[in-house]
Amino acid sequence: MLSRNRGLLICMVVLLALLLAACGTQQSVQNGHKQILLASTIGPIDAGIVGVLEAEFQKKTGIVVRHVGAGTGATLKMAESGSFDVVLVHAKALEEKFVADGFGTGRYDVMYNDFVLLGPATDPAKVQGEKSISTALTKIAEKGALFITRGDKSGTHIKELELWKAAGIVPKGDWYKVFEKGSEGNSKTLKYVDDQQGYTIMDRATYITMKNDLKLQVLVERDESLLNYITLIPVNPAKFPQVGNNEALKFIEWVVSAEGQKIIRDFGKDKYGEPLFFPNSPAGKNLN
């Protein structure tokens, strides 16, 4: 049932992309500028950084960037239709396969943040303060404490599965629960986990933007394996001649430039008192 729902979601999003592309073509003719369509993982959209980057790029170049959001697995699957010009995702193994299979031309480092283990203040598995996420997950499994997963092959879900594998655990049983609406994104998932008072793996940016409305707490963090790298990939024009490759490359070049990376560096500081993402392109790493 979940697999069927994911398939229906992908079809619906691709249809939306085609409608946006058609509208964009008409708008481009009317307004004298071009448009590209971005398929993006949901987290950066919900956090707001995608919209800010799109708006600033349009101001600078006149090129409109419109986005459609889905989990990373679904995002890459949608892009395999040739309906998108560029993708923003965060699952390295899937990204490398996307490029190796000829759908993308290369991976461009953009930004990163990290994942955290969230859970209730009562912390029934007694994991708070653990330095190793593997140790924490082992305790949760041994205790049979409620753990909620997106279960949708998104970048967040894939990272979670990687962490379970590293801990030598295959999560299953009544304590390991799949959120049926996980494909709708991190924000909805996190609200559900908060209602259920379970544990989950979530990116820090989502938690920061929602923490004032949550009872969940950060229990385990700063393990190096929790880092979350986000990249841009242009869709291959040799495979899909209709894509706006020149405009997509202009967008990527701007995002990874010092100008785009400064926006990423400072995003969230005014509203939340701390950044939500950190620049990760060569130009971004050299920022003070």
* Same domain, yes or no: 190 and 85: no
* Same domain, yes or no: 28 and 55: yes
* Same domain, yes or no: 132 and 218: yes
pLDDT of residue 24: 44
Go through 210-248 and write b for each residue having 16 or more CB atoms within 10 A of its CB, e for each that does not. Answer: bbeeeebbbbbbebeebebbbbbbbbbbeebeebbbebb
* Same domain, yes or no: 223 and 280: no
Can you tell me the mean pLDDT for 86-113? 97
pLDDT at 29 over 50: no
Each residue of 110-167: pLDDT tens digit?
999 999 999 999 999 999 999 999 999 999 999 999 999 999 999 999 999 999 999 9
| Of the residues 178, 200, 227, the one at which a domain ends | 227
**Predicted confidence band of residue 16 (pLDDT cuts 50, 70, 90):** low
* Same domain, yes or no: 199 and 235: no
- Which domain range does residue 98 map to? 2-112+229-285
CB 161 within 8 A of CB 180: no
Beta bridge partners of 89: 231
* Same domain, yes or no: 134 and 214: yes
pLDDT of residue 19: 52
* Same domain, yes or no: 10 and 152: no
CB 269 within 8 A of CB 137: no
* Same domain, yes or no: 219 and 146: yes
Beta bridge partners of 174: none
